[in-house]
């Protein structure tokens, strides 16, 4: 079985290569006239797009084919201040060059609208803004010529609003009303506080949404469900999709600051996870959410070369020895322990 590693938005190994240059509203308003404002907007956009292409070329050189675009490609993209500006037309060539490169190299690219995008909000205003943000992300894909729904948007279920049950119902109601071009891009991830992997899995099964399980978030909040019991069903939600299932992985910053991401991936934790995944015996991709981005990927990649049962194919791809018989062993352990209310870190596997 094969796994691939990817990273988020930026590389630490290219000089002056941020794809997320910004223009703040305050700064934008300070500029003397329309010409100066458009000049600034276009300058930052041009840099963000060309840096994104540089990152993709760098990824290709390193055999890294899983990558998440920044959500900040177009400064102030969904802000009313720039509604009149057709950035897609303006940077047609640049967008299409990125998309062409993605397709030529069969990259798995994705995006993750940030936590202000809430489609289970009870506020019409917030819902409207959220749809606007989703629309922006889809427009970027479309401008790149990535019309195929295989290129996804990762979302969380949203807020609890003091009543999880009705908040989940509201998510479902609002989700099914979304236009195809948005709805068919959305995949769901468990968060670190409110919606557990089991919660999200249930929603995903009902609405036929592919699920991304975040292993770190699962450690932060769960009701004793083991990964081994969740993973096969989570992977099943990807049935019929072009790409293999994807998971998120990160290590906690510290015991005290558990929910925060550490700079690098703890090889012990990752190897432990692969033990479980090896028992399932299915290919999947791993999005690493470490503060040191691609440096963390490269470090993990190096360390994995020394782990027994793992064969390195290149910098970001590995072949795992199938752990025959393990599945039954873990299932037996689970039966013995039963399901328990616990967030004890020793039981997360």
Partner DNA sequence: TCGTGTCAAGATCTT
Partner DNA sequence: AAGATCTTGACACGA
For residues 287 and 247, the answer to whether their CB atoms sit within 8 Å is: yes
Q: Shortest distance, CB of residue 55 to DNA, whole angstroms?
A: 11
Site for DNA in 116-175 (CB under 7 A): 116, 118, 121, 123, 125-126, 129, 133, 158-162
Instruction: Show contacts with DNA in window 1-30 (CB under 7 A).
Output: 9-10, 18, 20-28, 30
CB proximity list for 24: less than 8 A, separation 6 or greater = none
Specify the residue, 149 or 161, whose C-beta has the smaller distance to DNA. Answer: 161
Q: How many residues bind DNA (CB under 7 A)?
A: 45
Instruction: Give me the least distance between CB of 300 and DNA, in Å please.
Output: 17
C-beta of residue 284 within 8 angstroms of C-beta of residue 277 = yes
Binding mask 266-295 for DNA (x = CB under 7 A): -----------------------x-x-x--
Our finding on whether 42 is near DNA (CB under 7 A) is: no
DSSP β-bridge partners for residue 154: 187
- CB nearer to DNA: give 140 or 320: 140
In sequence order, what are the residues at sequence separation of 6 or more whose Cβ sits closer than 8 angstroms to the Cβ of residue 73? 19, 20, 45, 48, 49, 52, 140
> How far is 47 from 45, CA to CA, in rounded Å?
5
- The region of 144-152, 258-266, 311-319, 325-333 touching DNA under the rule CB under 7 A is 258-266
The one segment of 143-151, 205-213, 241-249, 253-261 that binds DNA by CB under 7 A:
253-261
Is 304 strand, coil or helix?
A: helix
Nearer to DNA (CB atom), residue 30 or residue 311? 30
C-beta of 85 vs 149, nearer to DNA: 85
**At closest approach, how far in Å is the CB of 47 from DNA?**
8
Please give the helix or strand (H or E) that residue 221 lies within, else none.
Answer: none
Q: In 46-185, which ranges are E strands?
A: 66-68, 108-111, 152-156
- Collapse the DSSP code of 283 into the 3-class scheme (helix H, G, I; strand E, B; otherwise coil) and give the result: coil
Give the integer Cα–Cα distance in Å for 237 and 72. 29
CB 80 within 8 A of CB 135: no
Say if CB 200 and CB 155 are below 8 A apart: no
Q: Each residue of 294-304: b (16+ CB within 10 Å) or e?
A: bbbbbbbbebb
36 binds DNA (CB under 7 A): no
* Minimum separation from the CB atom of position 176 to DNA (A): 19
186-189 and 211-214 strand pairing: parallel
Chain residues 307-346 in contact with DNA, contact rule CB under 7 A: none
Within 64-93, which residues bind DNA (CB under 7 A)?
A: 71-72, 75-79
Nearer to DNA, 81 or 313 (CB): 81
Contact residues toward DNA (CB under 7 A) are 9-10, 18, 20-28, 30, 44, 71-72, 75-79, 114-116, 118, 121, 123, 125-126, 129, 133, 158-162, 192, 194, 257, 259-261, 289, 291, 293
């Amino acid at each position: 079985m094969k796994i691939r590693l990817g990273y988020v938005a930026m590389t630490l190994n290219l000089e002056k290569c941020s794809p997320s240059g910004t223009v703040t509203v305050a700064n934008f308003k300070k500029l003397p006239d329309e010409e100066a404002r458009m000049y600034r907007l276009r300058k930052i956009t041009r840099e963000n797009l060309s840096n994104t292409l540089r990152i993709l070329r760098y990824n290709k050189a390193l055999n890294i084919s899983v990558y998440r675009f920044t959500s900040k490609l177009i400064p102030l993209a969904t802000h009313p201040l720039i509604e009149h500006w057709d950035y897609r037309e303006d940077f047609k060539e640049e967008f299409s060059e990125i998309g062409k490169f993605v397709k030529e190299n069969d990259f798995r690219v994705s995006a993750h609208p940030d936590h202000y995008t809430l489609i289970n909000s009870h506020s019409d205003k917030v819902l409207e803004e959220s749809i606007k943000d989703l629309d922006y992300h889809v427009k970027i894909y479309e401008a790149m010529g990535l019309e195929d729904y295989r290129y996804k948007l990762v979302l969380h279920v949203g807020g609890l609003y003091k009543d999880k049950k009705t908040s989940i119902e509201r998510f479902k109601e609002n989700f099914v009303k979304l236009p195809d071009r948005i709805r068919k891009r959305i995949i769901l991830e468990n968060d670190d506080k409110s919606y557990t992997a089991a919660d999200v899995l249930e929603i995903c099964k009902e609405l036929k949404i592919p699920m991304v399980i975040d292993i770190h978030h699962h450690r932060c909040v769960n009701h004793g469900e083991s990964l081994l019991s969740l993973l096969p069903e989570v992977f099943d939600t990807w049935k019929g999709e072009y790409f293999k299932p994807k998971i998120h992985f990160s290590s906690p910053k510290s015991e005290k600051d558990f929910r925060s991401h550490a700079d690098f991936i703890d090889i012990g934790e990752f190897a432990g996870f692969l033990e479980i995944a090896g028992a399932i015996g299915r290919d999947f991709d791993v999005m690493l959410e470490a503060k040191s981005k691609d440096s963390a990927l490269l470090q993990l990649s190096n360390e994995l070369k020394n782990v027994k049962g793992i064969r390195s194919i290149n910098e970001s791809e590995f072949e795992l020895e199938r752990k025959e018989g393990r599945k039954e062993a873990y299932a037996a352990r689970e039966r013995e322990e039963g399901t328990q209310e616990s967030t004890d870190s020793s039981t997360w596997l």
